[in-house]
Amino acid sequence: MAGPAFRAAAVRVRVPASSANLGPGFDAFGLALGLYDDVVVRVADSGLAVDIAGEGAETLPRDESHLLIRSMRAAFDRLGGQPRGLEVVCANRIPHGRGLGSSSAAICAGIVAARAVTIGGPSVLDDDAALALASELEGHPDNVAACLRGGFTIAWTDEESARTVRLEPSEQVVPVVFIPSTEVLTETARGLLPRTVPLADAAANAGRSALLVEALTRRPELLLAATEDRLHQDYRASAMPDSAALVAALRAEGIPAVISGAGPTVLALSDEAGADKLLQFAGSRSEPGDRRHGAGPAFAAHRLQLDRAGASVLPLGL
């Protein structure tokens, strides 16, 4: 049986950062953020060439062990076969090891790029199948769901595969991220979680998670109450004490703030006026053309947009 046919032209894929959990929605909620990695992929006659600029340029492998390449290979297997060769150029902007979904972005970029360079790829590996594969590779669906679909996602896994529902976040919500200079491995953060939690804490999180759906989509004035968490942030605080202290300080000021994913980035969900105040709170240093400020000695604050498109195939010239 003949394998798939591939496009001669290169394709460009853009994938957003994502923030998981959002406080109480542990391993279920995801929010796509307007900070992007780009990858350009071309099917070549032979071999593998990988070029990386930006985040991870000095540390990421440039061979088959690269997460993006492994994800492409897994997708090509599902699509019916591997190309003879690949040329891959990565422009990485999502910080690594900070709780902003960099690994999910690499996985989703690889899957979407493989599908895009395969003629008929979207019909063989549709959106649901792409989500299932991405969740399989990542180990959980929360970040990959937001990365693939954009917006606000609720993800779960049933007996068959990963599932997600995408909701439209309120236009009034403006995310501000406080990114520290140090990394925390997801495995480290997960290792601090207990095997069991008190029933009262589980019940409280269930109620706040339900409230967060309403708050994030229609009633942002409820976000402070809706982002309260008892299941994971306190247990992980010892691995990111500065981040935990910043969350507490922001919430004491009435600002809905949470640990982004497994941390240590802090995510604040504000409005237009509040976001400007947060940047003033962060400090006075800024760079021309970049809304970036020093937030004490260990953080940089970025005002972002919400991403509503998810992983996208773009024209090469953009």
Of 141, 168, 195, the position where a domain reaches its end is 168
Residue 179 shares a structural domain with residue 242: yes
159 with 15, same domain? Answer: yes
Number of structural domains (the chain) is 2
Q: Which domain holds residue 218?
A: 174-303
pTM for the whole structure: 0.92
Residues 17 and 159 grouped into a single domain:
yes
| DSSP-assigned letters across all residues of 198-210 | -HHHHHHHHHHHH
For 36, phi and psi rounded to 5 degrees? -130, 145
Same domain, 104 and 208: no
The backbone region for 139, taken as left when phi is positive above 0, alpha when psi lies in -120 to 50, beta otherwise, is: left
Strand 266-270 relative to strand 257-259, pairing: antiparallel
Q: Angle at Cα 145 formed by Cα 142 and Cα 149, nearest 5°?
A: 150
Q: What is the DSSP string of 101-167?
A: -HHHHHHHHHHHHHHHHBTTHHHHS-HHHHHHHHHHHHSSSHHHHHHHH-SEEEEEE-SS-EEEEEE
Strand, helix or coil at 244?
Answer: helix
Boundary residue ending a domain (127, 145, 168): 168
- CATH number of domain containing 290: 3.30.70.890
Closest CA to 251 of 279, 271, 270, 231: 270
CA separation for the pair 162, 93 (Å, rounded): 27
For each of the chain's 318 residues, which pLDDT tens digit applies?
578 999 999 999 999 999 999 999 999 999 999 999 999 999 999 999 999 999 999 999 999 999 999 999 999 999 999 999 999 999 999 999 999 999 999 999 999 999 999 999 999 999 999 999 999 999 999 999 999 999 999 999 998 799 999 999 999 999 999 999 888 877 788 889 999 999 999 999 999 999 999 999 999 999 999 999 999 999 999 999 999 999 999 999 999 999 999 999 999 999 998 898 888 776 533 333 333 344 444 789 999 999 999 999 998 865
Show which of 114, 134, 168 is a domain's final residue: 168
Q: Is residue 309 part of a domain?
A: no
Output the DSSP codes for 48-104: EEEEEEETTTTTS-SSTTSHHHHHHHHHHHHHT---SEEEEEEEE-SPTTSSS-HHH
Domain for residue 316, yes or no? no
